[in-house]
A = this chain, B = another copy of it.
Amino acid sequence: MSFSFKLATLLYSVCMLLPAAAQAQFARAEDAVEYRNGAFFVMDYHYDRIGDMIKGKIPYDKAVAESDAAIIDALGKLPWHAFTPNSITENSRAKEEIWQQKDKFKAAADKMQGETTKLAAASKTGDLAKLKTAFLATAQTCKECHDTFRKKKK
């Protein structure tokens, strides 16, 4: 059994079992903030790299875009359970609205995950135009959520 196949099998369990993993156990608000900031930062890096390809800042490389999109799609499942009640610290730009409008926040998170799945699919086509369309649709969901639920930078 190849390494890649074994790893794929293991990753499959991430998908199957994510609801089970979505049980928050953060000892401190700072830990919850660091967890979700970490997941978002790693996502952002890979998202920005796809953006750089679309903008022509770096050459388009299907394999890199495909890997980036898959990482984005997988990591996009993780931050949400770390929005534990009252977990706003000096390192967090989370707004109170996250907890005041739980259903709206969940809907925004779900929408983003829907778009990252499409982004991952688009990355596999090798069609830069399709990648761009999915990239912009994903960006729109980021923006919508940030507009309502994230504080502006100081």
A residues with a Cβ closer than 8 A to B are: 3-4, 6-8, 10-18, 20-21, 23, 25-26, 31, 34-35, 37-42, 45-46, 49, 52, 58, 61, 63-64, 66-71, 73-74, 78, 117, 120-121, 123-124
Contact = CB atoms under 8 A, between A and B. Distances in A.
A82 to B, nearest CB: 8
A16 to B, nearest CB: 6
Q: Kindly report how many copies of this chain are found in the complex they form together.
A: 2
Contacts of A4: 12, 15-16
**Taking chain A's interface residues, is the majority helix, strand, or loop, or is none over half, making it mixed?**
helix
Given A8-B11, A38-B41, A39-B42, 9 more contacts: A7-B117, A11-B12, A12-B70, A13-B66, A23-B64, A25-B52, A26-B45, A31-B45, A42-B42
Contact of A11 (B14, B25, B46): B14
A3 B18 CA distance: 12
